[in-house]
Amino acid sequence: MTSGYAAPIVELDEGSKNIYKLNQKELEKTLGRADIVGKKIALISIAGAYRKGKSFMLNLFVTYLEHLHKGGKGEWFDETTTLDKFNWRGGTKRDTNGIFIWSVPYILEDQNGEEVAIFLMDTQGTFDHQSTVQDCATIFALSTLLSSVQIYNISTQIQEDDLNNLRLFTEYAQLTKDENRQHAPFQKLLFLVRDWTNSDEYEYGYEGGKEYLKEEVLKTTPEQKKELKTLRESIKSSFESLKAFLMPHPGLRIARNNSEKVLGKIEEEFSEQLDILVPSLFKGDSLKAKKIDGKEITCREMVGLFEELMKIFNSDDLPEPKTILEATADAVNLAAEQRAREAYDKYMKEVTLGITKFTSSLADISTLLSLHQAAETQAFGVFSARPKLGEKSAAEANKNKLKEYIKTRYEEHEEKVKQNILIEAEREAEKTYDKHMK
Ligand code: GDP
Ligand code: MG
């Protein structure tokens, strides 16, 4: 077992019930790890009401990923499988509030054969037994905004309230809509229905889930109230992929409060579906990297997004969709500015490396100038390829900062060349002098 732990990324502020804060240190140690900064990221999250088996399920995800990591084939869990990774059954008050990320990323290949760092995210609402998604709206919203796959864990059936909790995302989606955008703002939402009892009508797994969504949950009819219809339609257009998986009951031993940290015996049906569900989450379209406005982001950009969103999601009063959009835009603009700076520096370094020394002529300055212009064009190209979110003026500010940076860097280069020319001229003069004196 690779040693990992559930890192608390978002925590309740000490001594307060509804103020959240970012644990910067843990964020840097996980998503910000130096060896993965430039890699694409898939963040697989599970959210939903308290005590419905989310952390229990995440333990099994880690088990499966460890199995893959070791090149294992065939059976990946049995009665001896341990469930000690994500704290489940509540645990202590202190370590169950907020957002946790499994500290170890698993590098898998996406559909294009490109590497993606997979991270798992656990969410936990307030520690009281009535806790519902509304009570931990902040955690639910944050995890949905950040993840590439949100697993919406629901007990026994999907109800109107469960859909209502998605309203914020539909409003956000509405804001980002414009005629040029083809993609939905959010990627994958998977309703994971636990303890499904109605398998006569809708069978377990994805097939039954698909029918259940189509025939009941997301069905719109002419008789339906307009509000219900609109909600369903906007949910469908806010997510790129919307699925449901109907999961059988695991057996009374699991459902009861047992304190064992091993899986033990589970219902055959549960075991069968587990073996379908878990592997399905780590292949195919579930491995699509996290995108913002249709553009894939890296681990480092995810860190930036986390930071920006935490500035506005600091209490249980949810920010307005417009505020969320602006914070997201700030994160992508800043990331684009940094990327563009790096592009300029990298290009300049490469082209000037070929020139061992700029020698004694003003022609060198004009060579440098044209290299600089090419580097600048590249850098601005990188900047304008960013997701186009939010107010134009915000992006304009970052663009100006980029311009300023490039100007300063160029002046430094120019200064160096001028000095070289001077040194070279002096050397020439000395040579002439020596010759003369001989
Ligand atoms: P969380 O608060 O959603 O993270 O829930 P936990 O993972 O801590 O699990 C709460 C309780 O539910 C534990 O006693 C688990 O053994 C039990 N449990 C786990 N999975 C299931 C399930 O699919 N159905 C039922 N009925 N109980 C489950
Ligand atoms: Mg939990």
With a 6 Å cutoff on the Cβ, whether 152 touches ligand 1 is no
How far is residue 245 from each of residues 203, 233, 272, 309, 425, measured CA to CA in Å? Answer: 10, 20, 13, 30, 76
CA 303 to ligand 1 centroid distance, Å: 30
pLDDT tens digits, 283-325: 988 899 999 988 999 999 999 999 999 999 887 788 899 999 9
pTM score, whole prediction: 0.90
CA 395 to ligand 2 centroid distance, Å: 39
Dihedral sign, CA of 71, 72, 77, 82?
A: negative
First to last CA, the chain: 78
Confidence check on the interface: ipTM exceeds 0.95, yes or no:
yes
Classify burial at 17, counting beta carbons within 10 Å of its beta carbon; exposed 0-12, middle 13-18, buried 19 or more: exposed
CA 250 to ligand 1 centroid distance, Å: 9
pLDDT tens digits, 164-210: 999 999 988 888 877 567 788 899 999 999 999 999 999 999 999 99
With a 6 Å cutoff on the Cβ, whether 255 touches ligand 1 is yes
CA 125 to ligand 2 centroid distance, Å: 8
Task: Say whether 95 sits in a helix, a strand or coil.
Answer: helix
Return the best residue to mutate from 132, 254, 256, 273 for the ligand 1 pocket (most ligand atoms within 8 A of CB): 254
With a 6 Å cutoff on the Cβ, whether 88 touches ligand 1 is yes
Ligand 1 atom nearest the C-alpha of 59 is 7
Q: What is the pLDDT of residue 94?
A: 42
CA 128 to ligand 1 centroid distance, Å: 15
